[in-house]
Structure 1
Amino acid sequence: MATSDFMLGGLASVGATVFTNPIEVIKTRIQLQGELAARGTYVEPYKGVLNAFITVAKNDGMIGLQKGLVPALYFQFIINSFRLSIYTTAVDRHWMHNKNGEISYGLGLMWGAIGGVVGSYCSSPFFLIKTQLQSQAAKQIAVGYQHSHTSMSHAFKQIYNEGGIFGLWRGSMAALARAAIGSGAQIATFGKTKALLVEHDLVTHPTLNSFSSGLIAGSIMSLAITPPDVITTRLYNQGVDVHGRGIYYNGWLDCIVKIFRSEGIYGMYKGFWANYMRIAPHSTLVLLFFDEFCAVREKYHL
């Protein structure tokens, strides 16, 4: 795993996150809206993606749309450093190619999942804090459990005091499934699509090829990742009792059962459009930036 690939993967994701964090805030709020309540029985402060933007800006101010940005940058840098460097290593060493020398979708899924799991586990504390900060809102539009963090460092201290070092990795098992499914789908689709577009002479310009492949990969990823993303958001944002146990869910399986019982299949896809609007451009930008950074590195032999 090249150190430069590790750094480039992280830098690519940081650049994309600055632009996509506001939609991440919206996505988190919508996923927590009406938690464990039947559809139509609760007040909806966020009525769609556009309305949610206006609601947050009106009640939390424009700065409210960038809540959780700092831990989001740390999270994205760490997870994508591992994901993308593992991906390029697998491609360069032909671990993703079949006997005919073609990129295998199945092997792409496997290596994408491996990179996602490694990166997700290492970055889990930042995802936890990012989620809890993004959910914080003015009283009139608050949804889900409201934490009292005042900053990322305060959140680290508070979570550690409540649950020790293991408290910082609470909910990480659900996050691993989320990362494996999402990263596997994204990386496999990106690599295979790039090859197919060139093979069939559809999009051969390097930058346009990366952009098109990233957009398609992001679309596939958003379909696959939404249910595990809802579960992860719920587990990460829930409060804990005096024993450090979650007050709503006992784990990812319990979370799934309770969502299905109270909210139905709709509950598993809450925030889908916000998720799509975040993931598709984020995936496109991350993969495009990464390919461009790699091209600059090769051109100047960095």
Structure 2
Amino acid sequence: MEGKKNIQTGLWWRHLVAGGLAGAASRTCTAPLDRIKVFLQVQPHKTAISDTVKYMLNEGGIRSMWRGNGMNVLKIAPESAIKFAAYEHMKRLIRGDEKRPMTISERFMAGAMAGSIAQTAIYPMEVLKTRLALSKTGQYKGILNAAKKIYLQEGARSFYRGYVPNMLGIIPYAGIDLAAYETLKRKYVSSHNVEQPSFLVLLACGSVSSTLGQICSYPLALVRTRLQVKGGNTNMQPTLGLSLRQNDDNMIGVFRNIVNNEGVFGLYRGITPNFIKMVPAVSISYVVYEYSSRALGVSMT
């Protein structure tokens, strides 16, 4: 009886494994689009996606499209694992022993807390991922070499550049993403009287929820990326002939700089490849998580 109860509620390590597999699979499949997005985010004025791709291929060849993906997988596996596990735990804390469906606001709260916990745990890896994605061929010998160089040149604080806008952005993103996904999935299950949604339904739920979260949080994610790059060796900053130098070192200053010099739409620089990668990334992530969870004997409750 106790074993059955554990399977129904979900063991924490099973959620960690399922979340890790989901994150690693989705990021590896969409790594080129993610690197294009990061390139575009740091440009101070509009740059075509085709020009960015051409620059990347000329600079490092086809393999450069996956530059930084090793760090991305190392980062996203624990991040996704912690996020999904924390989400399940937060739901149990909020709901307690009550056997009732959670409200949308309760799911939002659980998702926001889960996202904050996960991002805090892995944030230095986020900075490393950005620096590696923007690096030139031969600049770093690997992840450890990059971490060592950044630490020696800029100090430990450099690994937390952009932390504040990142946390302000992750709260609405994670809250909306997880809450909307589970709400849409449960609505479908109840209205169609089925036990488990199909692959296409999971894809649709994940795409809609992630789109809502991205629209609300993208400007903060862009400011975070610019702060992560700022302070680094300017030789590593691929500008396609443009300058990345800014006059401000804080979140409000970067916001003001972008709006004054690039307009409001500058806050959404790079969102096109982000949306292009979102459907495959989200669908792979949620579907792998769902099916891994079922294989391991747990489910999102």
Per the TM superposition, whether the score is higher than 0.5 is yes
| Distance in 2, Cα, partners of 1:172 & 1:148 | 25
Query: Which of 11, 22, 29 matches 1:19?
Result: 29
1:210 corresponds to 2:209? no
1:238 corresponds to 2:248? no
| Distance in 2, Cα, partners of 1:181 & 1:76 | 19
CA RMSD of aligned residues (A): 2.7
Return the offset for 1:67: 1.0
Paired letter, 1:27: K
Runs of 4+ in 1 over 4 A off after TM superposition: 202-205
1:47 corresponds to 2:48? yes
- Does the CA-based 8 Å contact 1:25-1:66 persist in structure 2? yes
Paired residues for 1:24-35 under 5 Å: 24-33=34-43, 35=44
2:76 corresponds to: 76
| Distance in 2, Cα, partners of 1:203 & 1:282 | 26
2:240 corresponds to: none
| Distance in 2, Cα, partners of 1:95 & 1:64 | 45
| Distance in 2, Cα, partners of 1:89 & 1:69 | 29
CA gap of 1:78–1:66, structure 2 versus 1, over 3 A, is: same
1:141 corresponds to: none
Return the offset for 1:250: 2.1
1:113 corresponds to 2:105? no
Paired letter, 1:193: L
Paired residues for 1:213-292 under 5 Å: 213-239=205-231, 248-292=247-291
Paired letter, 2:32: P
1:174 corresponds to 2:165? yes
Return the offset for 1:268: 0.3
| Distance in 2, Cα, partners of 1:148 & 1:172 | 25
Which TM-score applies when normalising by structure 1?
0.82
- Does the CA-based 8 Å contact 1:26-1:53 persist in structure 2? yes
Which TM-score applies when normalising by structure 2?
0.82
- Does the CA-based 8 Å contact 1:197-1:204 persist in structure 2? no
1:192 corresponds to: 183
Gaps of 5+ in 1: 139-146
- Does the CA-based 8 Å contact 1:214-1:285 persist in structure 2? no
1:126 corresponds to 2:118? no
CA gap of 1:53–1:163, structure 2 versus 1, over 3 A, is: closer
Counting matched residue pairs gives 275
Return the offset for 1:210: 2.5
Return the offset for 1:175: 1.7
Return the offset for 1:157: 0.5
Moved more, 173-182 or 256-265: 173-182
- Does the CA-based 8 Å contact 2:36-2:273 persist in structure 1? yes
| Distance in 2, Cα, partners of 1:286 & 1:272 | 19
Which of 1 and 2 has higher RCO (CA within 8 Å, sep 6+)? 2
Moved more, 111-120 or 277-286: 277-286
1:144 corresponds to: none
Return the offset for 1:96: 6.2
1:183 corresponds to 2:174? yes
1:161 corresponds to 2:152? yes
Paired letter, 1:20: T
- Does the CA-based 8 Å contact 1:240-1:247 persist in structure 2? no
CA gap of 1:53–1:247, structure 2 versus 1, over 3 A, is: closer
CA deviation vs aligned residue, 1:228-271 (integer Å, no higher than 9, x gap): 11111101111259xxxx97432212211111111110110101
Return the offset for 1:25: 0.3
Return the offset for 1:17: 0.9
Moved more, 204-213 or 183-192: 204-213
Paired letter, 1:223: I
1:104 corresponds to: 103
Gaps of 5+ in 2: 1-10, 234-244
- Does the CA-based 8 Å contact 2:115-2:175 persist in structure 1? yes
Return the offset for 1:192: 0.6
